[in-house]
Structure 1
């Protein structure tokens, strides 16, 4: 019998496992599949993680104070986690927010509130520092240098799981198919977890960190979160080693604003007046090549992900037409730069109507830490910690719990109705 079972061994789940074992001394298990060796031909669980990658932007500066706070609390623990685990995953290369005045005003407000040091850059300074970018004359920027940059999500998860295991967490490489609350003869409750490999695991409490797959397995019986699963394609532009010097001081970049006229915005994109993308400096991937990665929001909005088959197919195949459009857009951002080759990768974003994660209790034995909205990687350590804090009734964040409250689909009753079965250990 475990005190706490965490289902989902990605960035949030692995962080929760570490915090559960180090801060609360709980007898904890973490259940989730490891990354398949070959995504395109994996015929087993069909469970994938968006963390199967080499780079995610991390920064405190944000237009939303909640995400800024979650990131700040997470980032301050990165170096300790690296040192304790012996696994490096954090590169402090800085982050540049660029775009229109309205967007930057919001980031300035949050930066002031959370005491985040930033540097203002007008178009003249932007062109001097980043001559390879094509920007409109009305573009402005905010540079965050301290504690901003990127993390390697694969290595970060490895670091979290390494420390969780050292601290006594049992890690099970499996997929959970069913979670049920059982009422025992003495009136007490326990959770029964059944896995794809045939295991039956008993735990006093369960925390779900199951991301986009939350509704595709029977882990949240009788309850459905209000969320949208959105597909996202990223383009990887290969940079020749001879050209790496050009990008030596390139930070991570996030853009919100109007498109430059020379940018090749995909015809399927909603509007050229509201472009949102992120871009990362050259990162060395497992194949030995260096890639600049770009993700363009709303570029794959025509795709529909509503079933397990849909999400698995998207992770495996993506969309070749959209991939080419995103890559053409990525290339058009650069002036005088030729890229050796390109490839694409796919992931999914779980979007909530609050734009914030759900960190909430379904009932006294079952909690959730889901709904990343495309921003959770950098904040995963704090989201995982808060999930454990919630499960132990020791919430200690400046963020009010109501802001992170779970929302049901409108078709479901206003009160959670969860089936409880009779049984015994």
Structure 2
């Protein structure tokens, strides 16, 4: 969509999920709020820009994907203040309000001792990722006077090169420029393509991929419509390691993840019998070995699984302690997810020296919600590069 706005005559999207490829975004809810959990003003800006754009995108596309339910951040004073400061530096602090008594406003919550600070963002909420992608495509088509400016092709890329993509079906697609956005599968695709493509993501340890487990706890229709009707999304830092300690070995993202969870209000999962679940994730990163990313097998196997049972059990304990009066139905169910991380803590855009091929990677575990803002940045960077200029972004290299 943003490439078309920048002047591209046609954009072809190769949709691997439509061809049966596993993906982390095949989910029903991802949260988004302006205040970044790691205190990064750049990510806070992206979050705020995307939140502000959703209404217009939904109107242009004629379909909804965003639910505004508010977002709550609960944890130690210093951590909450840092997140608030990041949003304020990004010019997105206007919707934030400090909460003096969490349990009074949301009686079903019982944060542990030490989590005395809380911040509420009334403009925040959650997206449905697959519906958002469909809306992006619909909005892109609606915004173009010429039909066919956007083409979505179901298929799995087998090999890429400057200006060319070969699908597993044998079909070859050609273009002025190829952009690889394969998440955890980018490494194997680029490595298997050889040539300049194999060098795009740097050395084997430059891009790290983490196994993540999501827990789903079912609630009844009555509970969802009753005691949890006003439940916001939640980021809950219940046991943050000290900065520079063992939990910080993977950077600030890993430190915060290891001692916190994110929680979604009740969301309906049609693929699970239409039942309602409170979803949560978090905990220590579990990185794939670099060699495992040279082929698709390890990631595909993980995404086909239900995640790690011990991680799911740990998440369930955290949620039941935080929400002790909520009558969850049965034990937690689980599913697998992955995140991609770079040392920079930011999205990485790399370009082949000879031109015609770029790769975008490193969602940092928080790239779904602000995808619109990220897409705008990347489209602008690619357009400027095509004109012989350089985008003003530290993560643009090549």
CA displacement, residues 250-281 of structure 1 (integer Å, 9 cap, x when unaligned): 1000122437xxxxxxxxxx999961110011
- Per-residue deviation at 1:335? 1.5
Q: Paired residue for 1:276?
A: 260
**TM-score when scaled to structure 1?**
0.77
Structure 1 residues 271, 349: closer, same or farther in 2, change over 3 A?
A: closer
Q: Paired residue for 1:120?
A: 98
What SS does the corresponding residue of 2:59 show, helix, strand or coil? helix
1:91 aligns to 2:67 (yes or no): yes
- Per-residue deviation at 1:235? 0.6
Q: Paired residue for 1:374?
A: 365
Please, which moves more after superposition, 329-338 or 98-107? 329-338
CA RMSD of aligned residues (A): 2.5
Q: Paired residue for 2:348?
A: 358
Query: Between Structure 1 and Structure 2, how many residues are aligned?
Result: 355
Please, which moves more after superposition, 331-340 or 351-360? 331-340
- Per-residue deviation at 1:319? 2.6
- Per-residue deviation at 1:76? 1.7
- Long gaps (5+) in structure 1: 1-17, 37-41, 182-190, 260-269, 407-415, 417-425
1:201 aligns to 2:173 (yes or no): yes
Q: Is the 8 A contact 1:368 1:387 kept in 2?
A: no
Q: Paired residue for 1:72?
A: 48
Q: Is the 8 A contact 1:88 1:155 kept in 2?
A: yes
**In 1, Cα distance between the equivalents of 2:212 and 2:10?**
37
Structure 1 residues 165, 174: closer, same or farther in 2, change over 3 A?
A: farther
1:340 aligns to 2:323 (yes or no): no
CA displacement, residues 91-143 of structure 1 (integer Å, 9 cap, x when unaligned): 11111111112211211222322232211113xx1010122222134321011
Q: Paired residue for 1:297?
A: 283
1:48 aligns to 2:22 (yes or no): yes
Q: Is the 8 A contact 2:210 2:287 kept in 1?
A: no
Q: Is the 8 A contact 1:180 1:221 kept in 2?
A: no
- Long gaps (5+) in structure 2: 241-253
Q: Paired residue for 1:423?
A: none
**In 1, Cα distance between the equivalents of 2:74 and 2:302?**
30
What SS does the corresponding residue of 1:60 show, helix, strand or coil? coil
What SS does the corresponding residue of 1:207 show, helix, strand or coil? strand
**TM-score when scaled to structure 2?**
0.82
**In 2, Cα distance between the equivalents of 1:77 and 1:160?**
11
**In 2, Cα distance between the equivalents of 1:250 and 1:120?**
17
1:29 aligns to 2:12 (yes or no): yes
What SS does the corresponding residue of 1:235 show, helix, strand or coil? strand
